């Protein structure tokens, strides 16, 4: 069915679990045609888990899009004088030393002009009428080269290296949520939502205004911190605590109490981020959409919803996507659900390939 159509594998290189989703085009319709995952075992590297994922997935393509995150990645929202895209690409390298903690020769960087006019709080100088909003993304070259080499050593072809927070937005758009969350004609005003993805070791935030990113941040805590808190509180080893967290079997209240201190710290950082972007951009973040494996722990969604004081719900990046009947373990795929936002966002590049 898909032999003559394009396919891309989105490879989410998590710190705890490697996840891969293959999306193929049936005409112009994106269809999930493959899925596999593997935990990173104690004492092994990512490469071993990647090999298991590729073997299990039996994907029809070797074309892969992956992403980076962590301290080697910097994303900045800045203002620049109005200029052409070609001029912007040249100018950004001369301006980047103002915004990056690395030498420009040590990084790979890219930028994108934003449609929304600067509100006056971006990093940069000059009158708003003569300025344009720009998102600048950079990553240390050695980190990218190491990741690309890991992919190639497994017989795969890297098409692009994205950033986790941007992959979130791509998954949200692919699922059709972008159109659903846009204001109705004539409604007027800006509508902002926050995508919050709670992973194993970090939490990604991407605030979108009328479908376009206007703020993003990575918080260095996630599901693993919840597991460690549960282990201490319940007197379990980390493996047992992770199992109980994922399968409470009637111990939901115990788990919720055990992980509450971690959630308090996490929500404090989320609220600081939302307050900052609201003040900088002059808008209101109306809704928080949660994804990531960390939100599946007992009580997480309700705790975050109450603490942020905004409409809060989980979203499933599988919604709105057709799943091929052959070659995909649908029950296993759906069990991951909200944890697949980054992988699906990476694979969504098939639509632009």
Residue 215 banded pLDDT, cuts 50, 70, 90? very high
* Whether residues 167 and 197 fall in one domain: no
Q: Which residue has the higher pLDDT, 327 or 182?
A: 327
In a domain, 271, yes or no: yes
* Whether residues 61 and 197 fall in one domain: no
Over the stretch 68-101, which tens digit does the pLDDT of each residue have?
999 999 999 999 999 998 899 889 988 888 899 9
Q: Do β-strands 311-314 and 29-39 pair in parallel, antiparallel, or remain unpaired?
A: unpaired
* Whether residues 64 and 111 fall in one domain: no
Residue 132, pLDDT > 70, answer yes
* Whether residues 303 and 242 fall in one domain: yes
d(CA 61, CA 93): 35
* Whether residues 194 and 292 fall in one domain: yes
Question: Reduced to 3 DSSP states, what percent helix, strand and coil does the chain have, rounded to the nearest 5?
Answer: 40, 30, 30
CATH number at residue 113: 3.30.1490.300
* Whether residues 278 and 204 fall in one domain: yes
Residue 187, pLDDT > 70, answer no
User: Any idea what DSSP says for residue 106?
Assistant: G
Residue 64 banded pLDDT, cuts 50, 70, 90? very high
d(CA 207, CA 213): 6
* Whether residues 81 and 131 fall in one domain: yes
In a domain, 307, yes or no: yes
Q: pTM of this prediction?
A: 0.91
For residue 24, what are its two tokens?
A: 């193929």
* Whether residues 146 and 135 fall in one domain: no
In a domain, 159, yes or no: yes
In a domain, 2, yes or no: no
* Whether residues 245 and 185 fall in one domain: yes
In a domain, 1, yes or no: no
In a domain, 163, yes or no: yes
Residue 181 banded pLDDT, cuts 50, 70, 90? low
Give the pLDDT of residue 15.
Answer: 86
d(CA 310, CA 329): 36
Give the pLDDT of residue 176.
Answer: 73
Residues spanned by the domain of 241: 181-315
Give the pLDDT of residue 2.
Answer: 41
Give the pLDDT of residue 185.
Answer: 43
Residue 209, pLDDT > 90, answer yes
* Whether residues 235 and 337 fall in one domain: no
Over the stretch 302-311, which tens digit does the pLDDT of each residue have?
999 999 999 9
Domain count across the chain: 3
Quickly list DSSP for 228-285: HHHHHHHT--HHHHHHHHH--TT-HHHHHHHHHHHHHHHHHHHHHHHHHHHHHHT--E
Residue 291, pLDDT > 80, answer yes
In a domain, 218, yes or no: yes
* Whether residues 194 and 306 fall in one domain: yes
d(CA 141, CA 155): 21
User: Any idea what DSSP says for residue 348?
Assistant: G
Residue 118, pLDDT > 60, answer yes
Residue 5, pLDDT > 60, answer no
H helix runs in 96-247, sequence order: 141-153, 164-174, 177-181, 223-234, 238-246
* Whether residues 310 and 224 fall in one domain: yes
CATH number at residue 30: 3.30.420.40
Q: What are the residues whose beta carbons fall under 8 Å from the beta carbon of 272, sequence distance 6 or more?
A: none
In a domain, 277, yes or no: yes
Whole-number mean pLDDT of the chain?
A: 90
Least confident of 112-116, 194-198, 232-236, 264-268: 112-116
Residue 49, pLDDT > 50, answer yes
């Amino acid at each position: 069915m898909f032999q003559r159509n394009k396919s891309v594998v989105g490879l989410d290189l998590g710190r705890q679990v490697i996840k891969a989703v293959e999306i193929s085009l049936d005409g112009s319709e994106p269809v999930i045609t493959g899925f596999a995952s593997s935990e990173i075992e104690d004492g092994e590297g990512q490469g071993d888990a990647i090999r298991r994922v590729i073997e299990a997935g039996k994907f029809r393509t070797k074309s892969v899009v992956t992403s980076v995150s962590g301290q080697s990645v910097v994303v900045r929202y800045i203002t620049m004088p109005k200029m052409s895209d070609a001029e912007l690409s040249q100018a950004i390298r001369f301006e980047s030393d103002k915004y990056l903690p690395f030498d420009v020769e040590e990084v790979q960087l890219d930028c994108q002009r934003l449609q929304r006019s600067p509100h006056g709080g971006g990093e940069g100088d000059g009158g708003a009428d003569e300025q344009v909003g720009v998102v600048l993304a950079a990553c240390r070259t050695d980190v990218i080269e190491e990741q690309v080499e890991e992919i190639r050593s497994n017989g795969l072809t890297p098409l692009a290296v994205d950033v986790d927070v941007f992959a979130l937005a791509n998954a949200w758009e692919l699922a059709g949520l972008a159109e659903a969350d846009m204001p109705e004609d004539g409604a007027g005003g800006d509508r902002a939502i926050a995508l919050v993805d709670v992973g194993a070791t970090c939490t990604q935030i991407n605030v979108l205004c009328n479908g376009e990113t206007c703020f993003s941040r990575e918080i260095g805590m996630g599901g693993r911190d919840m597991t460690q808190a549960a282990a201490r509180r319940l007197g379990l080893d980390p493996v047992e605590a992770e199992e109980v967290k994922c399968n409470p079997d009637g111990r939901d209240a115990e788990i919720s109490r055990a992980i509450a201190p971690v959630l308090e710290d996490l929500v404090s950082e989320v609220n600081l981020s939302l307050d900052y972007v609201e003040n900088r951009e002059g808008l209101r973040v109306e809704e928080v959409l949660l994804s990531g494996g960390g939100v599946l722990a007992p009580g997480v969604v309700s705790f975050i919803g109450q603490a942020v004081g905004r409409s809060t719900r989980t979203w499933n990046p599988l919604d709105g996507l057709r799943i091929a009947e052959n070659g995909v373990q649908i029950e296993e795929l759906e069990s991951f659900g909200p944890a697949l936002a980054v992988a699906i966002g990476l694979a969504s590049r098939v639509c632009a390939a």
